[in-house]
Structure 1
């Protein structure tokens, strides 16, 4: 009965391990094309290249540059030409004829051109900062997905190792039970430990599958085979240097810089609204050539005029109110996000230090637990230790190893979160 249980458990693990291999082999075994980069950086760059913001960025830049060119032009809008012809051929046919050619030149209002140039420049700068924020947003998703995958993979490896150890112990107990050295209760305890380790292994492998699905959603099928994830401990990002006075980070934080650019756009929009008190005036130039009857020489004249539209207080008040509302919103948002960003940096600095201390303690515990397991494993083989003690030591060693492995991932996550708070892309 025990042998059948062991064989069934082994078949189950082999099938699940094969499924994990089929699903995970493109990630775990593929030869990456970006060998000079870290796996995390290659993962980020491949994910970013699939984003709509990356694809549309070039055209947004072209639009912003075109807007700057329009704002710098000499005319507020293109000039217009008007042509008309007057004749009496359909009526008296006395030879009367008149041709009118007119040119309309729209003019800038006072300070309107300079305000338009400043607004176009501010919007271009805002486009740059918003683009970097979009990059950071994807970087946050990539970091979370990458370290979640690495954590699940490590836990799966530890669960498989625990299962193999439990299987070896159960087979040893079965042999000694048949030899009469151990009781059936000991055999049941060993098989129970094997069943528990199998359940942990199945759950860990299911977590790996879920983590891989998140990786696939970011990378896409075409980029999946280009990334080699490698060893998680070799892909820990470098710890950034943070000044003691965090207030010096104020304007260097991307979210703060982006909101400052947005506030500048709102201010320039208000300046433009103040200058646009009416529609654009127009300089008009006409030339007329005509005669009254046959035989009379053609006469030509030139006229110059200026068309000035009336102003509208209601329409101008609407633009001023909207621009003022944007300024108020940007100022309040900037103050809130500045304080939040600095607090986030400060808390992540503390989390990195805490994770480093936990990693050191977990490594020490893992080393001691593994040495203790070796001692009790030998004493159990010689019959000097009972099975419950042997199982307890095994569980403690497995838990210590898991804690040490997870502590390494948590430290890497803390460093990544600190870099994310500082607005640094993956390296």
Structure 2
């Protein structure tokens, strides 16, 4: 049978690292990184500013209602001032925002690496399944031809040919389903990576890490976000919702009935006092956001620790299972050869041969899948401990 339509070619020049990098660059959520960098830039502008808000210009003109020329005109320029320690708190928010942005990017890339790993190994599994079912189908076709010749020679009954043909059709059905599953796996990989080809090899070495460390990309990202949230709490406490001290520099021009004029210059310093009760709800809201991030971090640690334990146990179990499967495969291959000879010499019936062949092929298939599964387990283990290709 021909290869299913719509399959991606395998490019030996591609590596797991290059696929992860390309997928990351095309991943929709990377737009968040750009937005976070814009936010950091805006925060830096605020921290660099000499004033913590909008300056204001005011003009006031008062005239005597009698129209005798007596009146007063005032104008001035009002500038907000940083509170003591407030600008440092703003810069701390900026610094933590910049760090959390970079950490978020690394954490997101690690998340993408997990998706790529899963997609690639699923593709490998489906490819192996398709190749095996095609081989089994081709063997069944050869068996049909062999049985047909022996029926013509009178060595076997017509019923044996029907059994062989029925078995061949069953194998063809399995091949058809395997082809569809393979197409789906290729489509899933292409949809995720937006790449026109897949890597030919992507095996990994097992990481030496045996515990979840603070350097785990996703854990480090949450820790950076917690530090950002802590800086936000301190800034909100200092900010007091924009009720800033202000300095007002102005001038006053007064005209009297006797046509005398008076020009004055004044400086006014305004310092808000109290008002903490009004600001506390905003501080509490910032603390709530901080607590949510801490909770996310603690939940992630538990999840990673559990996943690591499961990955270790799965890896150990699948290694043992692979050794068993390899032994079963050797016995199955021997059993098929022996029963083929027995069938040709008339020692066993066709129905018995097909039963043995089905069982043996299942053992061979299981060994092939176990080989791939162990490599998949290694990739999953590396993902859990925080290894990004």
Smaller-chain TM-score bracket: 0.7 to 0.9
1:159·1:201 contact (CA, 8 Å) conserved in 2? Answer: yes
Instruction: Evaluate the alpha carbon distance shift between residue 228 and residue 209 of structure 1 in structure 2; reply closer, same or farther with a 3 A threshold.
Output: closer
2:251·2:264 contact (CA, 8 Å) conserved in 1? Answer: yes
2:336·2:357 contact (CA, 8 Å) conserved in 1? Answer: yes
2:43·2:90 contact (CA, 8 Å) conserved in 1? Answer: no
Q: Specify the alignment match of 1:6 in structure 2.
A: none
User: Which SS does the other structure have where 1:367 is aligned?
Assistant: helix
For residues 46-93 of structure 1, give each alpha carbon's deviation from its aligned partner in whole angstroms, at most 9, with x where no partner exists: 3222222324523431321331331243321243344567789x9968
Paired residues for 1:119-198 under 5 Å: 119-198=93-172
Instruction: Evaluate the alpha carbon distance shift between residue 367 and residue 28 of structure 1 in structure 2; reply closer, same or farther with a 3 A threshold.
Output: farther
User: Which SS does the other structure have where 1:23 is aligned?
Assistant: coil
Instruction: Evaluate the alpha carbon distance shift between residue 212 and residue 377 of structure 1 in structure 2; reply closer, same or farther with a 3 A threshold.
Output: same
The count of residues paired between Structure 1 and Structure 2 equals 388
Q: Are residue 209 (structure 1) and residue 183 (structure 2) matched?
A: yes
Q: Are residue 287 (structure 1) and residue 251 (structure 2) matched?
A: yes
Instruction: Evaluate the alpha carbon distance shift between residue 215 and residue 332 of structure 1 in structure 2; reply closer, same or farther with a 3 A threshold.
Output: closer
Q: Specify the alignment match of 2:366 in structure 1.
A: 403
1:321 and 1:399 map into 2 onto residues whose CA distance is: 62
Paired residues for 1:62-77 under 5 Å: 62-77=38-53
Cα offset for 1:111?
Answer: 2.5
1:104·1:284 contact (CA, 8 Å) conserved in 2? Answer: yes
2:108·2:218 contact (CA, 8 Å) conserved in 1? Answer: no
User: Which SS does the other structure have where 2:26 is aligned?
Assistant: coil
2:202 corresponds, among 222, 231, 235, to 235
Output the TM-score relative to the length of structure 1.
0.80
1:65 and 1:118 map into 2 onto residues whose CA distance is: 13
2:303 and 2:193 map into 1 onto residues whose CA distance is: 31
Paired residues for 1:99-138 under 5 Å: 100-138=74-112
- Consecutive unaligned residues in structure 1, runs of 5 or more: 1-13
Instruction: Evaluate the alpha carbon distance shift between residue 172 and residue 294 of structure 1 in structure 2; reply closer, same or farther with a 3 A threshold.
Output: farther
Cα offset for 1:167?
Answer: 0.9
User: Which SS does the other structure have where 1:252 is aligned?
Assistant: coil
Q: Specify the alignment match of 1:11 in structure 2.
A: none
Q: Are residue 28 (structure 1) and residue 9 (structure 2) matched?
A: yes
Cα offset for 1:375?
Answer: 3.8
Q: Specify the alignment match of 1:4 in structure 2.
A: none
User: Which SS does the other structure have where 1:284 is aligned?
Assistant: strand
1:219 corresponds, among 193, 196, 207, to 193
2:267 corresponds, among 283, 304, 309, to 304
Q: Specify the alignment match of 1:264 in structure 2.
A: 227
User: Which SS does the other structure have where 2:77 is aligned?
Assistant: strand
Cα offset for 1:403?
Answer: 0.9
2:233·2:286 contact (CA, 8 Å) conserved in 1? Answer: yes
2:57·2:78 contact (CA, 8 Å) conserved in 1? Answer: yes
Cα offset for 1:206?
Answer: 1.8
For residues 197-252 of structure 1, give each alpha carbon's deviation from its aligned partner in whole angstroms, at most 9, with x where no partner exists: 112112211211222232232134xx3x2x2342xxx3212211114xx3xx3312
Q: Specify the alignment match of 1:373 in structure 2.
A: 336
2:114·2:383 contact (CA, 8 Å) conserved in 1? Answer: yes
Q: Specify the alignment match of 2:294 in structure 1.
A: 331
Cα offset for 1:147?
Answer: 1.5
1:235 and 1:277 map into 2 onto residues whose CA distance is: 55
Cα offset for 1:356?
Answer: 2.6
2:49 and 2:34 map into 1 onto residues whose CA distance is: 23
2:305 and 2:187 map into 1 onto residues whose CA distance is: 34
1:68 and 1:119 map into 2 onto residues whose CA distance is: 9
For residues 99-126 of structure 1, give each alpha carbon's deviation from its aligned partner in whole angstroms, at most 9, with x where no partner exists: 6542222112232222222222222222
Cα offset for 1:345?
Answer: 1.5
User: Which SS does the other structure have where 2:213 is aligned?
Assistant: helix
Q: Specify the alignment match of 1:417 in structure 2.
A: 380
2:133 and 2:148 map into 1 onto residues whose CA distance is: 22
- Consecutive unaligned residues in structure 2, runs of 5 or more: none
Cα offset for 1:407?
Answer: 0.9
Cα offset for 1:295?
Answer: 9.0
Output the TM-score relative to the length of structure 2.
0.87
2:102 and 2:179 map into 1 onto residues whose CA distance is: 42
